[in-house]
Amino acid sequence: MRTILIFLLTISFVNASNLLTHNIYERSDRVDVMLSFDSPYEGKITQKRGENITTLTLSDLTYDKLIEKNINSPILQAFTIEPDKDNIKVILKSEKNIAVIASKTVDGFGLRIRTKPIFINKIQSTKVSSVTTNTKTPITTKLSEDLIDSRYLSVILLLSIMILFMFWVKKRVANKQTQVKAKNKNSWLFKQDTQNNSNGEINVLHKKQIDNSNSVVLLEFDDKKYLVMTGNSNVLLEKFSKSDIKNDSDFEKAFEDNRKKLDEYLKIQKDDSFDNYKSKAAGEYISKLEHS
């Protein structure tokens, strides 16, 4: 019988793990105690909570020393490792309520004991204080509700004013755009009565730069095309039907055909007598346009 008991004790000692090292890591919101073993730890862990003391019992774990350490942390103030036969007790002392969570590493060679503060009492105390305040001072609560209501009304009023202002700006911009369109319709080239029978869209088909100030542009309006010199002056050079001048080559040909007119206009412009000539030339073409 004695032999069997010694054999069982030997097997139990062989299966038990040994504690090798311990380390403490302090953080602002937690304190971690790391334990390392010589073999994967497979024992049971039990926890016992007392007033300002939490005791963890690690079964099937041996250690031959008593460790006591003070910790300068608002969460945990003292840490003790106390051997107890084939068990080890880890004693954590704290002035405030803490939560203790023990978790093994994946390989089982380590154990992390994490301590974190518990704020339940503080929250409950705040709720009780809030209820007491509301009960004793109902007038203050009523004033606060009235203040909140007035702020909501102020915000709604401000939003309404902003919306009305945006509608006013939108209407003003729309009126300006209408005025610009009306002004563009009353141009020197297209008469008002002609535009009333069209959609009012003028398309630029081709453009060629003559010099730094003047260009020759082919415009399409309604069912007609107009070759116009624009820049320091606006002069109608020639009018075409919608089927004329279909590509760049046709535009270049029309430009060359009017090269002589362009040279005369530019020469007259340099001699400071272009305005009179333009009025005369434009009058002739507008007259042709009206009779076409």
93-110 pLDDT, tens digit per residue, is 998 889 999 999 989 899
Q: What are the backbone angles phi and psi of residue 31, rounded to the nearest 5°?
A: -130, 125
Positions of the chain with pLDDT lower than 70, given as ranges: 1-15, 120-148, 179-200, 269-292
Helix pair 274-291, 259-270: axis angle to 10 deg: 140
Ordered by where they begin, the domains of the chain are 17-118 (2.60.40.3470), 192-291 (no CATH)
**Distance set, CA 72 to CA 23, 24, 95, 173, 271 (Å):** 15, 11, 12, 70, 98
Round to whole Å and give the CA distance between 66 and 220.
Answer: 102
Non-local CB neighbours of 2 within 8 Å, separated by 6+ positions: none
Residue type, 48: K
- Amino acid in position 141: T
Which pLDDT score, from 0 to 100, does residue 40 have?
92
CB 181 within 8 A of CB 200: yes
Q: How far apart are CA 111 and CA 105, in angstroms?
A: 6
Q: What are phi and psi of 271, to 5 degrees?
A: -85, 10
According to DSSP, residue 107 is labeled: T
The tens digit of pLDDT for each residue in 213-223 reads 788 888 888 77
Of 181, 287, 184, 292, the closest CA to residue 236 belongs to: 287
pLDDT at 195: 45
Task: Dihedral sign for Cα 254, 259, 260, 261, please.
Answer: positive
Q: Does pTM top 0.85 for this prediction?
A: no
pLDDT of residue 24: 92
For every residue of 174-188, DSSP letters joined together read HHHHHHHHHHHHT-S
SS3 at position 84: strand
State pLDDT tens for residues 23-42.
999 988 999 999 999 999 98
pLDDT value of position 133: 43
Spatial CA neighbour of 258 closest among 215, 227, 284: 227
Residue whose token pair is 């039907």: 241
Q: What pLDDT, on the 0 to 100 scale, is given for residue 135?
A: 42
DSSP one-letter code for 233: S
Per-residue buried b or exposed e for 121-131, using 16+ beta carbons within 10 Å of the residue's own CB: eeeeeeeeeee
Count H helices and E strands in the chain, helices first. 7, 14
CB atoms within 10 A of CB 90: 25
| Helix (H/G/I), strand (E/B), else coil: 137 | coil
